[in-house]
Structure formats: C-alpha cells, structure tokens
Amino acid sequence: MTTLHILNAAPTQTSQLSSCLRVLSAGDGIVFCGEAVQALRAGSLAAQQLQGIDPSCKLYALEEDVLARAIDAEALPVTLLDYPAFVALCVAYSRVNSWT
Amino acid sequence: MAKSVLLISRQAPWAGIGAAEALDIALAAGAFDLPLSILFMDDGVLQLLDQQQPQALEQKDLSANLQALPMFGIEQLYVAQHCLTVRGLADNPLALTAERVDDQRIQQLIRQHDYVMTL
C-alpha cells in the first residue's frame, strides 16, 4: 500500500519537500518535477536530506526538467522519467499524493 | 463500498483560495456521503485558530464552513501537532474538535485511505 508523492515546487520556496519527508512511509516514491528538481542539486541542503531517507523509498525526476536546469542528478539514486514512464509509475503505486 | 479520501489542507485561511476550496470539496463529499477525512497540516493548521477577524480584510469567514463539517458527516478531522508546535500553537484551543496527530500517525492515515488530495 505505497504512495507516490509528486512535488512541483523548489525546496527553498515552500515546505513541500520537508513536509513530504516527515510523512513518507517505507516503500513510497517521490517524483520531482518542475522547480522541485532543484532538490536534486548536489551539495544542496535538500539533496543532503534526501540522502538520509529510508532506502526502500525511490526517487524519480522528469528528465526534461533536470536537463533544463543543468542539474547533475548522479549524486543521488534518481531514476529519470519521460511522460509515459511518469504515467506508468502513477498506476504502479497504490495512490498518488500530488503536493501543491 | 465508496473509496475513501484523505484531504490534506496545507494553506493558511487568507493566503489564497486553497483553504476555501479544500473546505468546499469536503462539504461536497459530505453531501454525497463519501468517506472523507481531513488533515490540517503546515499553514493549514492556521484555519483552526479561534477568534480570527476576516472582516478586517473584507474576507468571508471560513469558520462557519468549518463548523458545518460534522453536520455534513465529515467527522474524521486531524491536525498535525508538529505544525502547531512550530507555529507556537502547541497548546492553543482550536475552533474545531480535531485529533492531534504525530508524523507516524499521518503516515498511517495516508496508507489507510484509497485516495489522497493535497491542497
């Protein structure tokens, strides 16, 4: 009964990421899209927080948003997605929590 | 059996339309007897503060809608204790009876519901 959390805002702008991490359950996934991909920037406070999450939780990001912002997502175990893969992922989890 | 919904309301009452829209969704769900729970989280906990005076901003008072929730059958109301605490409201009386929940209980709530909607 896992949840896919979708984040769309930068971690420096809103509390989306910090709140999401507080209520993340084992086996959940997080998709970073739009400005939320800034959380994946190596060396950032957000990236450090992400390194500490439960290893059973998976990280995903929209590839085009990562490329557009010159983010090197190699520092974290992030799976890059295109839109068809994003849709498939939404169906694979029990529920989707789209943070606004 | 109807699918259950957890509505997570994260916006302050006067910071946009999010708080009012979340309440509208809840009341509509209640009118159709859909099993819906509400979790007030982040700035959303500010909706539960007593004695706010929205008239000063020429805004509509949300507290009447909040009080209507139990009448519409929406009785599963939760508020994130951590979010109250960091706002200096740990022990404040709330305008609505809501169960104060910690992070672990919130994780459970998310897992217990079929759908989650965050506003």
Beta bridge partners of B83: none
CATH class, domain B5-118, is alpha beta
Q: What confidence score (pLDDT) does residue B50 get? A: 84
The residue among B42, B50, B57, B43 whose CA lies nearest residue B13 is B43
**Closest alpha carbon within chain B to A96:** B116
Neighbours of A85 (CB within 10 A): 14
- Chain B, 76-95: which have a CB under 8 Å from a chain A CB? 82
H/E segment holding residue A29: strand A29-32
Instruction: Please list, residue by residue across B2-31, b when 16 or more beta carbons sit within 10 angstroms of its beta carbon and e when fewer do.
Output: eeebbbbbbbbbeeeebbbebbebbbebbe
End-to-end CA distance of chain A: 22
Nearest of A41, A46, A47, A30 to residue A69 by alpha carbon? A41
Which ipTM score applies to this complex? 0.87
Tokens of A99: 């943070």
pLDDT per residue over B13-33, tens digit each?
Answer: 888 888 999 999 999 999 999
Map out the domains of chain B as residue ranges.
Answer: 5-118
Stated pTM of the model: 0.91
Which residue of B41, B42, B115 is in closest CB contact with A95? Answer: B115
* Cβ–Cβ gap B110/A3 under 8 Å: yes
List of domains in chain A? 3-98 (3.40.1260.10)
Q: Which residues of chain A have pLDDT under 70?
A: none
